[in-house]
């Protein structure tokens, strides 16, 4: 991922927009030097593909979760977020499993992981 700074198009780098004071576009403030710029992130094609896979897996789990209202849906979505933040290696395997069509097994595992039950 590459990042760079550019002038805010709303305030043109001044940090001040209209009669309201600070610019809402960049969070700038006319009294603070150096404000009025926004950080732009440019993703590589590989990062875009990975983000698309993760979004597809998240949507698939959410679609299955709507069929099981109550605790299973909550635990599955909680398990998804918990796995993503705490165990990125296992999360990558989960994404591949969803891409391979094993969504029901993934859903059951996420419910158990979110509820912290033992097999």
Q: How confident is the model at residue 12 (pLDDT cuts 50, 70, 90)?
A: confident
pLDDT, the chain, mean: 81
Residue 41 pLDDT = 82
The residue behind tokens 């499993």 is 97
Taking residue 91's Cβ as centre, other Cβ atoms within 10 Å add up to 18
Q: Is the pLDDT of residue 80 over 80?
A: yes
Taking residue 9's Cβ as centre, other Cβ atoms within 10 Å add up to 10
Domain range summary for the chain, segments of one domain joined by +:
1-42, 45-115
Q: How confident is the model at residue 93 (pLDDT cuts 50, 70, 90)?
A: very high
Q: Is the pLDDT of residue 76 over 80?
A: yes
Residue 48 pLDDT = 92
Is the pTM higher than 0.75? Answer: no
Q: Which of 63, 62, 52, 114 is nearest to 86 (CA)?
A: 114
User: How far is 56 from 11, CA to CA, in rounded Å?
Assistant: 36
Cα dist. 50→14, 54, 65, 91, 109 in Å? 36, 6, 22, 12, 22
Chain segment 13-66, per-residue pLDDT in tens: 777 777 766 777 677 655 555 566 777 788 899 999 999 999 999 898 888 888
Q: What is the DSSP string of 45-110?
A: HHHHHHHHHHHHHHHHHHHHHTTSTTHHHHHHHHHHHHHHHH-HHHHHHHHHHHHTT-HHHHHHHH
Q: Is the pLDDT of residue 5 over 70?
A: yes
């Amino acid at each position: 991922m590459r990042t760079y700074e550019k002038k805010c198009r709303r305030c043109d780098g001044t940090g001040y927009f209209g009669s309201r004071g600070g610019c809402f576009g960049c969070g700038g403030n006319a009294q603070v030097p150096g404000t009025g710029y926004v950080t732009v992130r440019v993703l590589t094609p590989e990062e875009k593909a990975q983000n698309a896979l993760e979004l597809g897996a998240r949507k698939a789990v959410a679609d299955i979760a709507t069929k099981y209202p109550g605790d299973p849906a909550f635990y599955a979505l909680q398990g998804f977020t918990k796995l993503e933040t705490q165990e990125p290696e296992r999360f990558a395997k989960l994404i591949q499993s969803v891409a391979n069509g094993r969504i029901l097994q993934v859903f059951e595992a996420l419910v158990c992981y979110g509820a912290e039950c033992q097999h």
